[in-house]
A = this chain, B = another copy of it.
Amino acid sequence: MLTIGTLSKKTGTKVQTIRYYEQIGLMPEPGRTEGGQRRYDNAQLDRLSFIRHSRQLGFSLDAIRELLDLSDHPNHPCDEADAIARRQLKQVEQRMARLKALRTELKRMVHECSGGRTGDCKVLEVLRDHSECLTEHEEIGA
């Protein structure tokens, strides 16, 4: 039986985060001592490791919820898990493409700044005037 602190160390998850996962129903309610402290078993350790690892690969908590459900039913066809992973891959690729365009623009800004006064700083000028940009970069975030 593991305390929440031990589970925290073993999985690299903050104690608060574990309680948060329980609150939103991603982790099951664990057993408790007479005094009311949480005690975890190995199944729960595995589950939390799964969650953490999925988070590191960028899956949303909602996607993880689905993946966990699938993982709990070993006889279902696995197309769905595959689809979720493909979706995630696609998202990652989109984000990469976006960042690549940003990098180009930022590099250009920085290169052209010759270290004078802010009045004729290329960085600020570009920010002021979008028409100096090579690419459109409409959507914010993503």
Q: Identify the A interface with B (CB < 8 A).
A: 12, 46, 49-50, 52-58, 67, 70-71, 73-82, 84-86, 88-89, 92-93, 95-96, 99-100, 102-103, 105-107, 109-110, 113, 115-121, 123-124, 127-128, 130, 137-140
On whether the beta carbons of A57 and B127 are closer than 8 Å, the reply is: yes
On whether the beta carbons of A75 and B109 are closer than 8 Å, the reply is: no
Q: How far apart are A78's CB and chain B's nearest CB, in angstroms?
A: 4
| Chain A contact residues: helix, strand, loop or mixed | helix
A80→B121 CA distance, assembly (Å): 10
A99→B88 CA distance, assembly (Å): 11
On whether the beta carbons of B56 and A82 are closer than 8 Å, the reply is: no
On whether the beta carbons of A79 and B109 are closer than 8 Å, the reply is: no
| Known contacts A85-B123, A115-B78; A71/B128 CB under 8 A | yes
On whether the beta carbons of A82 and B137 are closer than 8 Å, the reply is: no
Partner of A119, one of B58, B75, B88, B120: B75
